[in-house]
Structure 1
């Protein structure tokens, strides 16, 4: 029984206020008999429907996904308990670049929600062709650059969106405009987000949660019957934005992007590729947007820069009853960060000095039919080259200066130049069991080399890629790569009125990288001088993660339906009796949605269980469970004009999201060291005009 792929995926995986959740299968993919396995969870967004400033918050609407929030636009993607560099994120098919050493500019902040076309999460084990390093899964965010026309005549299309969020007195606006015919497409995008501190229950405010961000993008596309090319350039401009879970706030982030995506068909061979360059200038400090340190000697500014060049080239052609792909890709990155004191011209710390991390890969993949099985299997070999220039510090006094010099000397004399070579394998299988049920199986081996912070953080600091646990860390030049072996088992089930996509997973990770108590006496002495606590050192341990998640729903009538998603993950160390840090608790999101013609109304329940299985080494605090209700609706006044609005956290409950960080901003109604609470009641209104 053949079924329309996008319709089935929409029925299985749609979520509140997302008009479609479609499987973005490319036209050349094999059409299979039975229900297409839900390997891609795609959230197509409509401007204004959700009152979000940070695109990463959309992940909470997809099974297995979540977000670690360190600030209003600093959300770090989490998938099945893994987050940060372990989760591969592409923006318009190119690897994202995070410029700051603490991920204040997390990848998805470069794609504001009002400019977003879709957010795709590959469920389970990502194909080797999708990304170079995808131990924690793979996501792709695409900006809405319009569509080609149907004939030779040029038409102008686009939209203007505006939204107001009451909880932060925030506003968001966006303009999208496209001039196109059937062969040429010129698009311009603009958005601006701005808001004050977020209010929580009991009329408190989260100090340092203000934000201001602009995003600009220009692109040109061309196509004919066999080929296409898209060239784009864009800029992110973030100013005076708080990150209350981190030791500093954002003065500015200037991110520049240029890239191209190309494809062509030569006979039966499809060639595709991309080339991109990103550059980030990022300044942060610990005094301009929060209570300043009590001593002028503790004032800090961190100026960070980063750039990367990334490319890929892939060929795909028919082989046997499927398609064979062969490709290569690369991503060369450089990070530098220098810490200074505005009150002392002598003080300077080379936090990172031209820290290089270059990844080169080759892969092959086959997808097709073997009997009743749909098979996707592949292998990838990656080589990661890492190096750093010498580091040092000046302007410190006494024992602090002596200890810093000893650490710098040990680092500079160490083996900073290191190569990692490893093999990734992936096998995904599916077959129909009945007309309404499909079995999905996955096996994978995935690897990740250390991040530049994990190897090259030579001084005990909190520049840890956004861990936000309040501890100082020191890097480790002797780290090995992480190796994960994973198995997934699930079904896709659909009847005329109901659907569900449960999936179980088990992941065993050898040489998992996390902080352990440092045995470096010099680092511990210096960390104690700075923070009162000894340092943690990045090291290899053994871990495991397992759990289950699913999307589900039921059509009550032609106009009324239930939709939801359920997620659970458990993370533990295998070598010691401890839990992994910052893992989302059991959670469920269920919506009752009414849709008829131009009107949509939704009542949403969000439930999170308590999280008692916390990490001792991070001194992670337990959190209580909570539940909130959200109301939303939209009405299409004309084919061009849509009004929408709603109320989040209807009863203004005060709650703590376990994945939120701990407050480090003294100018706040939230005590220092207390976990940051969720937003209070938020009344929002929005309007979108299409043409």
Structure 2
């Protein structure tokens, strides 16, 4: 599919696409029905994974933050944080684990990014304002997918609302946001047209910003971004069949990543899905899904930041392709949406293939190249069985439970590599020869087991117990990084890594205990968790003489090689909501996690790298007639549990206030006034990384500060 829309090796001109999409949306909107859509531009938050929970019912507005993705909104969820290597390169962290350990699906699609440092992470593919966010809290059910060792998060478009008659009716929505600190502009347009059994949707997006200023007035380098997007959706429904199709396109143009050694020149991303659900008996449904994505990506270290000497200019050209197929059989209840109250099965199988390439060159030297990843293929074949049931206690109260089993096989292979330096450098030649002569095909067998149960404590309180084993195979970069480079899937620690063809799979034993309490106007949900990870994959000092000599020649620290060591994490997270009266409401969430190695490196059991500190937020909300105002305190304690191996430094605690005033002008128009960092505080988030851009207001190695006071306005219009 990618070849049909490419021109000169790249996808169709992104700004033309975005302009066309916005023009189409506005043109269709002007011709749409005058009926006003009732749905507002919100993300619906839902917490799953705890049986019959649904306790967390929170709505977060798209205009809550200047974030070009949902990172600020997602951080309101208990246990969720985001590692920020750049404003459009966020990596979801859940309970201290992040990256490929956390399954993040966008539009129900597993995204295979091209960037070996996660510049095009799954979160960068979120497009549109009408989003449903689902966090599978604790031990994720096996039905959500394989390799969900660190949890699972799904972000998808809200379910379409069909009309009650067979005539096509249309609505259109336009949202526009402007923030002054970094001159950021965000424009979204959508047209939705539907009958009683079909729909078509078109979404377009433009996002652009310059570098922002911190609270003390310093310009923070490589915090600019420029990206556009277009997403098309369609569906058709009968009494027993549902067909949904989706195609999304995102172009990220020149955008900065201050915590990484290179900036984004471009990322062209395409993802697609075709899903068919069909009822084939009174209580069984078959669900088929074909999906995939294709990304192309250039990054370099000399165009968008202070450049090194010409001999050290580096351009990394990468690409990825992925294709997947899922088939599920679900036993459902009389409403056709939920599993049978007396118990129900989910049975399924899936196949997912990724292909990756990476080639590094120097535009000043036509002979120079490093063929870093060559036609790497990663195949996942998986099947699962899950049962949700319930039994009655002596007082006739249902006690739901869930048991699940998933078995998977992961196979990886790679073609031969090479470098122009091999002819003149014996150490490079040794690495090339060692890799090419090795058996590069590896495979792993994974087993996931999940057991959950929920019991009543009182009339208003329940307790949930979850136990499980979750496993993950190594990523392609952890196995096949043959040359010492800063390729670490977004760790952004500045260390050079080499792969390990003998890596073992990670296996986590997990336990989670949650308590949910509800009383009129008040709800609270708290969880305590523990997980022990056998063969945790982490970089340890390399014993490869050629790799170490190369890093010494480059003036870098000793290379790290991916190896297996034991690790454990434990902590807690909590969410609470209190409705004081019809005008006032207070909501709050908090999290704490401690992660460390259980085996020593250089006689020291180090803390895990880049783990979120004790943090939380509290919001006081006031509503009256058409006015909605909210004051939020976002706070974090200092983080001094840091990894010296990865040059991690402590971060001070902070507290920042944000304010939002929302006014409904009429049934079709909404205006919001936003102030981020109300007191213009100078602070840095621990997960923001350190600055890697030379000759800037921020020193090399200094924590990247967050944005200073930022005043913005947001307008929603529905046609």
- TM-score tier, shorter chain, comes to over 0.9
Counterpart for residue 406 of structure 2: 380
User: Does 2:279 align with 1:265?
Assistant: yes
Q: Select the residue among 434, 448, 455 that pairs with 1:424.
A: 448
Counterpart contact for 2:44–2:132, Cα < 8 Å: no
Residues 97-140 of structure 1, C-alpha deviations (whole Å, 9 max, x = no match): 2111110011011114x434122111001000101110000011
User: Does 2:518 align with 1:464?
Assistant: no
Counterpart contact for 1:353–1:389, Cα < 8 Å: yes
In 2: Cα distance, 1:332 partner to 1:165 partner: 41
Counterpart contact for 1:157–1:177, Cα < 8 Å: yes
In 1: Cα distance, 2:124 partner to 2:623 partner: 31
Counterpart for residue 239 of structure 1: 253
In 2: Cα distance, 1:360 partner to 1:198 partner: 45
Counterpart for residue 11 of structure 2: none
Q: Select the residue among 650, 672, 688 that pairs with 1:644.
A: 672
Deviation at 1:645, TM superposition (A): 1.8
Counterpart contact for 2:48–2:137, Cα < 8 Å: no
Counterpart for residue 12 of structure 1: none
Counterpart for residue 599 of structure 1: 627
User: Does 2:241 align with 1:227?
Assistant: yes
User: Does 2:682 align with 1:660?
Assistant: no
Counterpart for residue 198 of structure 1: 212
SS in 2 for 1:37: coil
Deviation at 1:146, TM superposition (A): 4.2
In 2: Cα distance, 1:546 partner to 1:344 partner: 50
User: Does 2:70 align with 1:55?
Assistant: yes
Counterpart for residue 522 of structure 1: 546
Distance verdict in 2 for CA 1:531–1:198, change over 3 Å:
farther
Distance verdict in 2 for CA 1:429–1:515, change over 3 Å:
same
Q: Select the residue among 242, 265, 269 that pairs with 1:251.
A: 265
Deviation at 1:320, TM superposition (A): 9.1
Distance verdict in 2 for CA 1:20–1:551, change over 3 Å:
same
SS in 2 for 1:203: coil
Q: Select the residue among 267, 273, 289 that pairs with 1:274.
A: 289
User: Does 2:571 align with 1:543?
Assistant: no
Counterpart for residue 82 of structure 2: 67
Counterpart for residue 298 of structure 1: 312
SS in 2 for 1:453: helix
Deviation at 1:402, TM superposition (A): 2.0
Counterpart for residue 322 of structure 1: 343
In 2: Cα distance, 1:57 partner to 1:387 partner: 38
Counterpart for residue 559 of structure 1: 583
Q: Select the residue among 660, 672, 675 that pairs with 1:632.
A: 660
SS in 2 for 1:198: coil
In 1: Cα distance, 2:514 partner to 2:176 partner: 41
User: Does 2:436 align with 1:412?
Assistant: yes
Deviation at 1:58, TM superposition (A): 2.3
Counterpart for residue 200 of structure 2: 186
Deviation at 1:224, TM superposition (A): 1.1
In 2: Cα distance, 1:150 partner to 1:511 partner: 55
In 2: Cα distance, 1:613 partner to 1:23 partner: 29
Any residues of structure 2 matched to 1:602-613 within 5 Å, and which? 602-613=630-641
Residues 331-385 of structure 1, C-alpha deviations (whole Å, 9 max, x = no match): 1000000000000110011111111111110000001212232111100001000
Deviation at 1:57, TM superposition (A): 3.1
User: Does 2:106 align with 1:87?
Assistant: no
In 1: Cα distance, 2:59 partner to 2:450 partner: 27
Q: Select the residue among 606, 614, 619 that pairs with 2:642.
A: 614
Counterpart for residue 498 of structure 1: 522
Counterpart for residue 389 of structure 1: 415
Q: Select the residue among 301, 306, 321 that pairs with 1:286.
A: 301
Q: Select the residue among 371, 376, 379 that pairs with 1:350.
A: 371
In 2: Cα distance, 1:133 partner to 1:42 partner: 27
Counterpart for residue 127 of structure 1: 141
Any residues of structure 2 matched to 1:74-223 within 5 Å, and which? 74-112=89-127, 114-144=128-158, 146-223=160-237
- Structure 2 alignment gaps of length 5 or more: 1-40, 333-339, 393-397
Residues 66-119 of structure 1, C-alpha deviations (whole Å, 9 max, x = no match): 00000010100000000000000111212122111110011011114x434122
Counterpart contact for 1:54–1:74, Cα < 8 Å: no
In 2: Cα distance, 1:23 partner to 1:598 partner: 29
Counterpart contact for 1:145–1:188, Cα < 8 Å: no
Counterpart for residue 8 of structure 1: none
Counterpart contact for 2:109–2:292, Cα < 8 Å: no
- Structure 1 alignment gaps of length 5 or more: 1-16
Deviation at 1:20, TM superposition (A): 5.0
Mean CA deviation greater in 144-153 or 235-244: 144-153
Deviation at 1:522, TM superposition (A): 0.9
Mean CA deviation greater in 315-324 or 649-658: 315-324
Counterpart contact for 2:65–2:72, Cα < 8 Å: no
Any residues of structure 2 matched to 1:563-574 within 5 Å, and which? 563-574=587-598
Deviation at 1:297, TM superposition (A): 1.0
TM-score by length of 2: 0.90
Counterpart contact for 2:690–2:704, Cα < 8 Å: yes
Residues 235-275 of structure 1, C-alpha deviations (whole Å, 9 max, x = no match): 11110101111111100001112211221101121111211
Distance verdict in 2 for CA 1:98–1:19, change over 3 Å:
closer
Counterpart for residue 26 of structure 2: none
TM-score by length of 1: 0.93
Distance verdict in 2 for CA 1:510–1:76, change over 3 Å:
same
Deviation at 1:517, TM superposition (A): 0.7
Counterpart for residue 7 of structure 1: none
Deviation at 1:45, TM superposition (A): 4.8
User: Does 2:319 align with 1:309?
Assistant: no
Residues 570-625 of structure 1, C-alpha deviations (whole Å, 9 max, x = no match): 00111122100000000120010001232110011111000111112212101111
Distance verdict in 2 for CA 1:53–1:558, change over 3 Å:
same
Deviation at 1:317, TM superposition (A): 2.2
Q: Select the residue among 36, 53, 61 that pairs with 1:37.
A: 53
Deviation at 1:23, TM superposition (A): 5.6
Counterpart contact for 1:145–1:219, Cα < 8 Å: no
SS in 2 for 1:85: helix
In 1: Cα distance, 2:477 partner to 2:148 partner: 18
Deviation at 1:668, TM superposition (A): 2.2
Q: Select the residue among 462, 465, 468 that pairs with 1:444.
A: 468
In 1: Cα distance, 2:101 partner to 2:57 partner: 20
Mean CA deviation greater in 534-543 or 201-210: 201-210
Deviation at 1:450, TM superposition (A): 0.2
In 1: Cα distance, 2:564 partner to 2:616 partner: 33
Residues 441-465 of structure 1, C-alpha deviations (whole Å, 9 max, x = no match): 1001000000011001110001111
In 2: Cα distance, 1:673 partner to 1:172 partner: 31
Counterpart contact for 2:422–2:432, Cα < 8 Å: no
